[in-house]
Structure 1
Amino acid sequence: MIIDYRYHIASLVAVFIALGIGILVGSAVLGNEVIAERQKQLADRLEVQLEELRQKNEAVQARANNLEIDNNIQRQFEKQVLPPLITGKLTGKRIAIVETNSYGFRDDLVNTLSMAGATVQSVTTILDGFDVTGHKEQLRSELGINDQNDNDMMSFLAKETARGILTGEKQALLNTLSQSELLKLSGDYGVPVDAVIFIGGSQDQTLVKTEIVDYPMMDYFLQQKLPVFGVEETNVTYSYMKSYQKKRVSTVDNVESAPGQLALVLAIADKPGHYGVKPTAKQLLPPFDTTGGVGNGQKGQGVSGNPRP
């Protein structure tokens, strides 16, 4: 951490103010020569301390610069190594993405999936956690929803949205939710998909609605025998990984990084597991065999996309 000069300057100013007061008070007791000598000694000590702080700050700054250089080298290495590791791994796979955190995600995730040979058919974003406050009457009127409490209505909308993603039979519902700014739609709906990726994790606890929103959607896709994958970025405040793992789906908790995207591609390519850097992860990546390919992983993990023996 870089030393904050403002704090130390403020401390020095306070010391000099105290020194001035001391001089005024002590002038009645001590001679001017004694006061001047004490003042010089104190000033010398303060100057030494300030120089020490400056040197420490420079050392910390130099270390931070070196770490930044190392990080840049690592990112460049990952960027160059990732393509040959994933090219062709997902050829012909059609994927639907569901965002339940409203934050969006980086374009390089879609680019990585495309590089691996997959086609992202649709991206569906749940806005504001499907908060129906202020929309209930409209939804009841236009969609014919019976009187329900908020949580039941959100779960109903979540499941019907999942159905619409897969079958295309709920276009009116999707359009209504989109017009109500509860949903953002992109891509083709009602086309077959081979896997569904849920992007979760939140910075806001009020948006954490895994049991109300994520679970009904996941349950629908799992009932259709589709593999489901739950991912999030490393720096989210509220992780969804433990909640997602209760549904026995593969998870990746660092999907913004090259290792995370590699893990996701390999998980979709039938190497399921819980990958990443957080305590909920079992390992960073699927194991590699001695020939350079990806190993078969562990059997019986009981996660989506990995039939039990």
Structure 2
Amino acid sequence: MDKKKWKQLGKGIKEYRQLLLMMVPAVIFFVVFAYVPMYGVVLAFKDFRIMDGILASPWAGLKYFRKAFEDPYFLKTIENTLVISFGKLIFGFPLPILFAVLLNELKGNKFKRIVQTVSYLPHFMSWVILGSIFFSLLSLGGPVNSILEFLGFEKIMFMGTSSIFRQVLICTDVWKGFGWGSVLYLAAIAGIDQEMYEAARVDGANRLHNIWYITLPTILPVICINLILNLSGILNAGFDQVFNMYSETVYDVADIIDTYVYRIGLKSMQYSLSTAVGLFKSVIGLVMIIIVNFIIGRIGGKENTLW
């Protein structure tokens, strides 16, 4: 860089110093918790020995990746992760959009604020608390089974039946997140020029026409970016939720990659194997975000993509 460019850089830093200072905590957070731990990825390629440390441990090549994929149970956890994640995506992705659109159509501001507040509350409750609540609600002696028994149906062991547990995970996750997930879409809808709606009304458009031809197309870039980010995390089935709600009786349908890594890494102390599995998951996430971004760019144009 020549002297002129250095001078321009210094001027820009001085002009935006308040904004740059506000970025410092976020930068420190990502450096400490995202970039520094990346050094530990080396464990996936080493026969790690605690006494030798990471650097002194012998190299193992792709040994632990082969070990993971030769384990039928690991392949089962991938299947469980994909089924649960796609279920949450299929039902949980469109609901916040629908909720935001319907909420925007409400006329009473006071009622709208009450609905928003109530829908946001579950997001701020941890799965430790919600897991206990759902265990109580869905237990054999809980209110849900009491109602079923009153109506003449047999009681159901929701939290211990393999054929039902995945649906419980999906429904509870969608319920917890749809309100908070609508915030971004409400913000996008609030930015729509109201003159577009007025012009449409003059042309005889009703509310459904406004939603279909103005609201949804206008917030389409936000929807596409959210879809890209959701699909990039398709192997994140929700560790907190699953860990706090599952039990050994439903391991066959609910044990996901994250809980598998937790057990083999922290409980069994197979650090190299757990790191290899975690690295595999991260690589798949990166590949997914690139592929989905490319597909959406070809279909909907560059304005609907991340880059």
Give the number of the structure whose residues are more often helix, by fraction: 2
Same fold, TM-score > 0.5, yes or no: no
Q: With structure 2 as the length reference, what TM-score do the two structures score?
A: 0.24
- Greater strand share, structure number: 1
- Between 1 and 2, higher relative CO (CA 8 Å, sep ≥ 6) is seen in 2
TM-score by length of 1: 0.24
Greater Cα radius of gyration, structure 1 or 2: 1
